[in-house]
Structure formats: structure tokens, C-alpha cells
A and B are shown apart, each in its own frame.
Chain A
């Protein structure tokens, strides 16, 4: 048998064997998300109580102890943006929400996730204790009049120095939005921290902190330009706890509530992906 023929036989045999082994290896092991039940199997009073304790430690920090929202979305309105079925809520808790601050509870036992689902659904039946009462249309004018769009954008229109507000109503509770307007430094998103660098010649540059390592630091400056600095060329780096956003504590009560009402109304519809 010549070596060419031998190599061909060898190659065919190798491919067949690899394919066969791969077929065997691809059999599912364990439960896949699609195998989850639609209805929560953990709904007894004891499950609810266990779910409450789990929720308080894991979720209450952002979503509020009673689901009233805060940095995290409100959970006491019964509206769940990523699906309201037990299974959909389970998957949001388990996997988190990509490109948001919502982490996944990847290593949490399944039973514990289901118990949190039970408690979150209970929260959802409470009804929001503090609904936004302002007039969204009037609030849009307040937004316009105060130049919010110079830093914030909605549906692609506006500035880039501050957070995109296109979907802010689904992400933040009214209480948190009110606080952010009156006292912007109270809770600054990590990706919108202020940084000021002062060069060895004394020149100051201020902007939004984008990245940093031991040798360099990077920002989006007040004009929206991307800037990079070598630390060896800087005299000082300041990371002030103050937001670059000015406070709007001088707004009238009506303007404030209308603005909050407008922001709460900003909810993009859930995308099909």
C-alpha cells in the first residue's frame, strides 16, 4: 500500500472517529435553561420566607428592601421588563442582564433562585408605594429648558458626557431619579466617575474616568474628546466624589415632579433579541 493511500485511509478513519466521539460528547448533561418549568415549583409559605431572606441579602441593596427600587429597577409594580412569567424572572436572576449593572446569580442553587422568584412575584403584587405623579409632557419641557440634553441623550439625541436616558424609567425608581436630580453626587454610576489630572506644568484636565492602569489614565473630557495621560507626566490625579452634573435643587417642586414623571416615562420597548 503506498503512503498516499495509507494517509487518506488514516485521515478518513480519524475524521470518522472524531465525529463519533463528538456526537457522544454532545449529549446534554444536566438541565438546560430550556428545560426549566414555566411555573415556580417553590411557592409555599416557607419558600416565600426563605426567598425574602435571600432577596434582602442579595437584591435589596439595589432594588430596595421592599422592591421599591433605587439604583436597581422597581420590583413592586408588577411590571417586569424582561418577562413576567416565573421562568423568565428565574432566568433574569440566574443570568443577570447583559450591559447593565444586574449581575447573574450563577452559582446560586436552583431552589434558592426559585424562592427568590416567589418573593419577587409577591413584591410585584404590592403596587408601587410611590408612583411618579408628575406630568411627562411638562417634564419634557423642564428637561429642555434646563439644558439636560447638553450632557444626556435620549434616543440618540443629546450629549455624551452623562448617562443615556433613553430607558432610564425602566432602570431607576422615581425616588432614585429625584435624588439624582437634587443631589447628583449621592450615587454616581461607576462608569461616570469624575477624574481630574494635573500635569507637571500645572495644567488641569477634567472629565469622565474611562480607564486606568498603573502607568496611564484615560478620560472623556468636558468637550467629549477622548484623552490619555501617562502618569509619569502628571503631578496629581484627583478622583473627587462629586459628580460633574450640577445639582438642580433650585427646581420648583412642580418642575421637579414633572421632570421625574418624564424620566419615568422613558422606557424603550423590550427588544426581540
Chain B
């Protein structure tokens, strides 16, 4: 059909819709809105809600709800299921006074009644173009400010939606998806800004972190994670390699209001597995950045894996906590890094305090006093394939949310024990719509399933000491949730959602959801009753007591 006729038919539809006296789907009455910045600052004072991607600005992914306890968790049962009919659901919802806002691949948003799981409205996003993605058409969540929801889309847009209706308020380009930019992470609201990251370092992008005005969508600042020639850090790149240098920002960071700093992890350099064309440390890839929220200026950075050739993005959730180290009160940020070491940094200055190995690893002899790895030989990818390297390409940890419990003072996270075969190829040419790997982290190797496994670790975060651990069959992709009910919730790749005693690690309950889990659990109140939800496969399942 000619385009002109299509346009006329579309226009006719719009006109009739506009003139219709009754809209087809009546928007639900707003409940619990607006969510002000002040409410976000005090998110932990609203345990009945889940207001940000990681529960609060410190990214503790913890709830002070205590209706479900170690004593009664065995009575937990399914309350409702919301079926998404989409592959690889990695989303963490937010919940505001009885309404759950959820994303669905590739970039849809659904408002659900949190008591029944019934949809209140659905926003189905049409991708503007085909998009190159390395790892599936995923979306990990959204943010809220006032009465507006914010989501990044797979085709690298930032959208503002009316939380009452799902209608689009504004739409901005983060970057050109035709150049392999994509977006999968949940934005973070700070003050009146929407902080949004980008993905695509397997496609030859140059990464950045952006801040947008929440009202207008105008960009306030951009921090390029790969510096241009002449900028600080550019000496760690050679020639034009910076142009396709990677450094994605695809997982939501944390925020310290007192220091006015946002903490955000960056991903791998490109090409991933062939580092020959980018000699140097390749700043600021595989790093944690501390940026001034108002200006986007870099306050400090810490690079976990200089000149990475194993795809060990540092896009783990940075957890903020205040504690005493060597008798001195410290503001800390802790990160169990994908490279297999747990790091403790001073979050005021970025000073390196400690690194401790938490999974099997072969690539580093040690981390020196400045936090730099001392490398072992023969650990790089080779043309023939190097299958002696631990951890695997998916790392000792990954993007899944960890949980810090202020009562037990333990950090709970899932560790992945595996090795993989790393091979490299000649450095690829950059082509829109195509990968920019320069090798791979699989390549036909066959390891016995029992040669890889998972552990939910309970760790004293200041020291890296493991208090207890819970072994699971295969390396997990689920986050953790700890609660004041002395429980830790998580899930396995085999589809089992389970609860452990937060103090001992004893398993107390499990449920077979029948599909792989790529998501993190949350908890909230619905009509004053505590529910716990997690996507298992493409089903978001809510559990509660009778």
C-alpha cells in the first residue's frame, strides 16, 4: 500500500480516537503519586514500596519488611503470575502504593495491580529500526519521578511516560542505534535529572553516561567513558582505537547525596578479546566512576581490569555503606567485580583499600597495594583458543543485584564458578549493525556441567571474609534480596526460587518455577501484606503468605 494512503488511514484513526467521547481503556485512578525526589531520598522509610531499581540510593536491595520470616517462610505460596511471552526477562520492577511498574522485552512498560497481577495499562514500544545487540533484547527496569516513568529503549532512546496512563510525554535520542548503540539499563533519578547509561561495546561504540532534565528531556551533561585525544586518560589509547573503545554503562549505579556523587560502573573495551589494537590501560573501561551529579565532572575513577581482554565489564552494582576500617570511620563503596576479586574503596576519594578473591581465578597473581592486578602469564585469548582461564567470560559476578543487610551486616551475592575457552581473531573492522568482538569466550569448548557451579555468598563486605555460602548447581543469573525477616531470597538457573536463613545460610523454602532466572527478586506490601516477586522465565510470579 502506498505510504501516503497509509498515513491518511492512520491520521483518520487518530482523529476519530480524539473525538471519541469515552476512551477505550479508562486510566486507573492515580495511587501514591507523585513520587518526589524527597521520597526517593528516603526510600527506605517506605518499605511497602520499591521506589528505585536497587531499592534505595545505596543500592542495598534490602527491605525492612518482616512479615515473612525464617519461621513462616515455608508457608509461602504463589499469589499470581503475570505472563510476558517474551524471552530473557531481566527486569526489576518498581512498586508505588499498590501499583507495580514493570518492563518487558524489548522496551515495553506495564502497570500492574500489585495485589492481583492484572494489567492496568500496557505501553508497547515499537523499535524504530533493527538493532544490533550482543546479548538478547533485554531491558532491566525503569525509574519514577513525580508522575512520570523513565525508560531507556533497545534502540537507544530515553522515554518519559505518564505513570497514570502510559502515554508518552517526551522521547529523546541517547545515540544512533544504527551505529550499534543500544540501551538496556534502568535510569536513576537524582534531583530533577534522569541519569541514563548506554550499551553496545560489543558493537564498537564509544560509551558515555548522560543526565537529562526530567521535565524537558534536554541533556544536561554527558561524560564520555572513553576520552578523546588530548583529554585526561587519552594516553591509554592508541591511534583511532578510542573511537570504538567501548566502555558501556548498562547497569544502574548508586548515589551519595552528601557527597553529591553518582557511582557508575563501565563495561569492556572494544574489541573485546583482541587487545592488540588498543595497547594501554584503556581508561575508563572496566572501571567505577564517581561523577558530580550537577556537572557530570569526574571526581575519581578506579579501574578494576586494565586493558581487559576477557569481557569482564565492571557493570556490577556498586554498594554504598558506612563502616569502620582499621579503626577509622569510612564511607565505602564495595564491588564484587566480574574479574573474580571483591573490592573495597573509599567512596570519598576512590582510595583502594582491599581486594580479595572470591571465586577461582587464574589471571592475576595478586592485586597490588594500589589496586592494580599483577598478571599471570598465558591468560590472554589465543587464535587456537585458551581454555585455562578462570573465571569465564560471564565473570565471577555480573549485573545481578547484590543485597546488603544492615542487621546482619553481610553482603549477599551470587558467584559464578566456571572457566571458558577464550579465543581471538584479527581485529574486526567497524561496521554498523555488526559485532566488534575480535574473538570469543566460548568457541566450541565442551566443559562438563559439573565443572561449573554457583554459590550464593554471604560476605563481610569490609574484609571480603565469607561467612557462609550456599552452593547451587550451575552459575546463576539471579540477584539477591535480603529482608528484616532474616531471609535471603534468590534463584537458580534451573528455575528454583528459594529462601535462606540470612544468618546461617540454611535453606528454608523453594519453589520450582520451571525456567531459567535472569532477574532479581523484590518485596513490597499489597493491602498491608508482604509479597515477594521475581521473574522466572517470562513469568513474573508473586508469592505471599495466606
Contact = CB atoms under 8 A, between A and B. Distances in A.
A56 B383 contact: yes
B439 A57 contact: yes
A57 B425 contact: yes
Nearest to B129: A29
Contacts of A107: 134, 202, 435, 437
B26 interface: no
B17 A61 contact: no
Contacts of A111: 428-429, 431, 434
B385 interface: yes
Contact of A61 (B1, B9, B443, B473): B443
Interface stretch (A12-20, A139-147, A246-254): A12-20
A54 B6 CA distance: 46
A56 B435 CA distance: 19
Contacts of B17: 10, 13-14, 17
A19 B13 CA distance: 10
Given A23-B1, A57-B440, A17 B14 contact: yes
A25 interface: yes
Given A57-B383, A58-B444, A60-B384, A20 B21 contact: no
Interface stretch (A130-138, A174-182, A211-219): A211-219
A214 B384 contact: no
B512 interface: yes
A160 interface: no
A50 B429 CA distance: 12
A148 interface: no
A214 to B, nearest CB: 6
A24 interface: yes
Contacts of B437: 107-108
> Chain A at the B interface: mostly helix, strand, loop or mixed?
helix
A215 B384 contact: no
Contacts of B449: 190
Nearest to A18: B13
Interface string B409-421: 0000000000001
Of the candidates A10, A14, A25, the one having the most CB atoms from chain B within 10 angstroms of its own CB is A10
B287 interface: no
Interface stretch (B312-320, B350-358, B489-497): B489-497
A14 B24 contact: yes
Of the candidates A57, A212, A215, the one having the most CB atoms from chain B within 10 angstroms of its own CB is A57
A212 B473 contact: yes
Contacts of A71: 446
Nearest to A63: B444
A109 B446 contact: no
A59 interface: yes
B424 interface: yes
Nearest to A106: B435
Contacts of B473: 212-214
A252 to B, nearest CB: 32
Interface in B435-464: 435-437, 439-440, 442-446, 448-450
Name the interface size band of chain A: 35 or more
A24 B8 CA distance: 13
A222 interface: no
Nearest to A216: B512
A103 interface: yes
Interface string A13-54: 110111111011100011000000000000000000010011
B6 A112 contact: no
A107 B495 CA distance: 27
Of the candidates B130, B383, B421, B498, the one having the most CB atoms from chain A within 10 angstroms of its own CB is B383
A23 B6 contact: yes
Contacts of B296: none
Given A111-B431, A190-B446, A13 B13 contact: yes
A213 B472 CA distance: 9
A20 B429 contact: no
A214 B434 contact: no
Contacts of A109: 428-429, 431, 434-436
A84 to B, nearest CB: 22
Nearest to A52: B383
A197 to B, nearest CB: 14
A16 B20 contact: no
B385 A61 contact: yes
Contacts of B6: 20, 23-24
A239 interface: yes
B331 interface: no
A16 B492 contact: no
A233 interface: no
A23 B10 CA distance: 11
A23 B126 CA distance: 13
Given A17-B13, A62-B444, A213 B492 contact: yes
Given A14-B17, A61-B443, A54 B425 contact: yes
Given A58-B443, A107-B202, A30 B433 contact: yes
A112 B428 contact: yes
A17 B494 contact: no
10 contacts: A17-B12, A19-B9, A20-B10, A21-B10, A23-B6, A24-B6, A50-B426, A58-B440, A72-B444, A109-B436
Interface of A: 3, 6, 9-10, 13-14, 16-21, 23-25, 29-30, 50, 53-54, 56-62, 71-72, 103, 107-112, 190, 193, 212-215, 239
Top-10 shortest CB links A-B? A17-B13, A57-B423, A13-B16, A213-B494, A61-B444, A109-B434, A29-B130, A20-B9, A30-B130, A107-B435
